[in-house]
Amino acid sequence: MELAPDDVEWVTCDSPVNIALIKYWGKRDEKLILPLNSSVSVTLNQEEVWEQSMKNARLQSVISQIKRLCRKRKIDGDQPNEKLQWKLHICSENNFPTAAGLASSAAGYACLVYALSKLYGVEGDISKIARLGSGSACRSIHGGFVIWNKGDAEDGEDSSTEQIAPETHWPELRVLILVVSDQTKHTASTVGMQTSVETSDLLHQRLQGVPKRIERIKKAILRKDFHSFAEITMKDSNQLHAVCLDTYPPISYLTDTSHHIMQLVHAINQDNSSNMVAYSFDAGPNAFLFMQEKDVPTVLDILHYFYPNSDPHFIRGIHVPGKHDTHVDYTAFSDIKVIPRALKFIIHTKPGPGPSVQESDNGLLTKDGLPK
């Protein structure tokens, strides 16, 4: 959000994407965007990968809620905020490759709500307002490891997010985003989860199991127990996609390449006698691979081997010196086919902080309040 100078004021913010470890799938209230289950995510470093985007569908709801909070402060004794009368010019930009299929609306709404809160001087739990824009946007309000508690109240007042641990808690954790070549036209997650709630018997079993799973992943995060972290993350991703397949008509986000990546990850872990890598898939075919910093060169070597690609920009993000000489023994992977160019590119990132205010020099609007 940015407004040109003089009798205008502007704020420029950026906001990170987040990837769910325990997935959000299914609403108990469509209008208030209240989830059927709590979820856990990790916020990704926006220096490497972030995005801004906006859709108009739920925009008015978000703006009016922020203004309501601003008015409430005024009633509570503060000075009236004349900015409430001002006109808003909003400009948004997405610097994350849309091909990566990360929920752009989550980062976009987190960014908008954060920027509006700075503009109007609103404090308090803005994640509830971000949720009204896009459910999982509420998790992008925090950095590091985040839990979105589903809450039980009808009005959603207890459906809130909190940080499990900051991004500095587990500095060795790394994320490789594998952008696959066989992108398909997917069912929008909003529509998809609605159909699952209506038709999938298996969703109910999933909902019963999530609380225990959340306790286990919280423990794994706090103890930096990568092996358990990986197992729970992979199982939850698989279960989400199982529920999608049990939906009628079925929803399928995973492609042959996604399944190939899953098979490769399990082979790496089996060869290592302990989990070295974990995958997670959102509403699309791209893989989010988690691993520890020390294992990044090995995993990159294996990915180069199975998905050969001569693109000089194949690996993006955090730099890892090339030719790692990790001496992987590929006889352990003899069952797995090499598929040239199965991946478009890989983004290397790590857990990161929540939204932040940017220097105005980076603003997206001209002095006249129009997009540059």
Residue 11 zone, left/alpha/beta (φ > 0; ψ -120 to 50; rest):
beta
Per CB under 8 A, the list member of 18, 233, 255, 280 interacting with a copy of itself is 255
Rounded Cα gap, residues 93 and 224, in angstroms: 35
DSSP secondary structure letters along 5-23: SSS-----EE-B-EEEEE-
Q: Judged by CB, which is closer to a copy of itself: 124, or 250?
A: 250
Region 310-369 residues binding a copy of itself, contact defined as CB under 8 A: 335
How far, in Å, CA of 317 to CA of 9, rounded? 33
Task: Please choose, from the candidates 63, 75, 84, the residue with its C-alpha nearest in 3D space to the C-alpha of residue 129.
Answer: 63
Q: Residue 179 CB, nearest distance to a copy of itself (Å)?
A: 17
CA distances to 30, 132, 138, 152, 337 from 35, rounded to whole Å, are: 9, 11, 12, 10, 40
Closest by Cα among 131, 142, 151 to 38: 151
Please give the residues from 194 up to 253 whose contact with a copy of itself meets the rule CB under 8 A.
Answer: 201-202, 204-206, 209, 231, 234-235, 238-239, 241-243, 245-250, 252
Nearer to a copy of itself by C-beta: 132 or 243?
Answer: 243
Minimum distance, C-beta of residue 212 to a copy of itself, in the bound complex (Å): 10
Q: What residues contact residue 263 under an 8 Å CB cut-off, 6+ apart?
A: 336
The yes or no reply on residue 262 touching a copy of itself (CB under 8 A) is yes
Smaller CB separation from a copy of itself, 258 or 309: 258
Rounded-to-integer distance, Cα 195 and Cα 216, Å? 29
Three-state secondary structure string covering 76-114: CCCCCCHHHHCCCCCCCCCCCCHHHCCCHHHHHHHHHHH
CB of 4 to a copy of itself, least distance (A): 43
Q: How far is the CB of 219 from a copy of itself (least distance, A)?
A: 19
Which of 163/184 has CB closer to a copy of itself? 184
Shortest Cβ 227–a copy of itself spacing (Å)? 14
Whether the CB-CB separation of 205 and 41 falls below 8 Å is answered with no
Distance of closest approach, residue 249 Cβ to a copy of itself, in angstroms: 4
Per-residue b or e along 321-356, where b marks 16 or more CB atoms closer than 10 Å to that residue's CB: eeeeeeebeeeebeebeeeeebbbbbbbbbbbbbbe
Enter the tokens of residue 46: 């926006």
Q: How many residues bind a copy of itself (CB under 8 A)?
A: 29
Residue with smaller CB distance to a copy of itself, 278 or 318: 278
Binding mask 53-92 for a copy of itself (x = CB under 8 A): ----------------------------------------
Closer by beta carbon to a copy of itself, 116 or else 277: 277
Q: In the block, which residue shows the tokens 């490497």?
A: 48
Tell me how crowded residue 192 is: count the other CB atoms within 10 A of its CB. Answer: 19
Shortest Å distance, C-beta 40 to a copy of itself:
18
Closer CB to a copy of itself, 59 or 99, in the complex: 99
- Show contacts with a copy of itself in window 171-190 (CB under 8 A): 182, 185
Residues that bind a copy of itself (CB under 8 A): 182, 185, 201-202, 204-206, 209, 231, 234-235, 238-239, 241-243, 245-250, 252, 255-256, 259, 262, 266, 335
